[in-house]
Copies of this chain bind each other. A is one copy, B any other.
C-alpha cells in the first residue's frame, strides 16, 4: 500500500480527517488524549501530509527564488560565480532556517520556461536598469526584493549593498593624502556601478584631482580589463592608484601594471570591491571590501518574507562594508 493519507490515518485513529488536521495544525482544540493517539499513529504509519494537496488548498508555495539576470555563463564564469554563489549559499542557509526552500533559478533564456516556476517570492541579485527579470515577476504578481537597489525601480524593496559607501571607503584608503586615482567599472548599468561612479566623481572633485574613469565590457573579462588598464596606465603616468570594483577586472589591471612595468603597490596602488577568491589569491593579494554578504543575504530573505506576510524575524540591517587591507594597496610608510 502506498503512502497513507489523512483519511487513512483518521480511520485508524477512529476520528475524522478534520480532527487529524486540527491535531497537527493546532487551529482548533483537540482533546490531548486524542491528539496523542493521532500523533503516535502517524509516527508508526509513516504519515506525512502531501504537500501538493496542502499547497493547492492553502495557496502557499513554501519556496522563494534566487535569480540573477546575468547569464550563468557569465555569472558563473570566474568573474561573478563567487559573488553570486556566496549569496546563494548564505541565502539558502537563511531561508532554510525560516523553513522555506531556496530555489536557484538560472537567468531567463526563453522566457516561458519561468512559467513552470512556483515560488512565493524572488530575490533578484543586482538588477540592471530595465531588468527583464523584474518585469517578469512583477507581471506575475510575484513579490520581489532585490539585493542592491534596482535602478529605475525605486518602488521595489531592496537590501542596500552600500556601493557608495564602499567606493568612498576604497577611495579614502587609496588616496591617502594625495595623488590621482583612476576608476574602472563595467558597461552594464547596475546600481553598484552608478553609485560608485557618482561617489568617484564627488571624491575627485573634493580631493582636487582630475577624474579618470573607464568602462569595460563585462563580456571581455580579464583580458579586456587588462587591455583597457594598459592604455590607461600608459596614457596617464601620473596615476597613483586604481579603484577597480569588479574583481576580474582588478586581476586584469594587475596584469596590465606588470606589463607596463609598474610595481604594485609601490608604483601603483590597487583595490577592488568583492573580497572573493580572486582577490585573496592574486599576487599581490588585493585590498578589498567585506560586504558581509551572508548578512546581506539573510536580510534579503527576511525582507522578502516580511513582504509575503510570513512570520519571520524583523529584517535586520546588514553592517556597513569594511575594508580588508592587503598588499596591493600597502602604503609606503607601513
Contact = CB atoms under 8 A, between A and B. Distances in A.
A102 interface: yes
> How many copies of the shown chain assemble into the complex?
2
A124 to B, nearest CB: 15
A221 to B, nearest CB: 12
Given A89-B85, A101-B105, A281-B281, A62 B72 contact: no
B96 A106 contact: yes
A27 interface: no
Interface in A88-115: 88-89, 92-93, 96-97, 99-106, 113, 115
Contacts of A93: 72, 106
B63 A89 contact: no
A224 interface: no
A273 to B, nearest CB: 17
Nearest to A75: B89
Contacts of A92: 72, 104-106
Contacts of A140: 48
Contacts of A118: 51-52, 62, 101
A283 B254 CA distance: 14
A113 B86 contact: no
B116 A100 contact: yes
A212 B116 CA distance: 53
B277 A115 contact: no
Interface string A61-84: 111011000001001101001100
A52 B63 contact: no
Contact of A56 (B56, B96, B277, B282): B56
Most buried by B among A76, A78, A100, A113: A76
A117 interface: yes
A85 B56 CA distance: 32
Interface of A: 3, 46, 48, 50-53, 55-56, 59, 61-63, 65-66, 72, 75-76, 78, 81-82, 85-86, 88-89, 92-93, 96-97, 99-106, 113, 115-119, 140-141, 277-278, 280-283
8 contacts: A52-B118, A76-B86, A81-B82, A96-B113, A99-B113, A99-B116, A100-B116, A101-B105
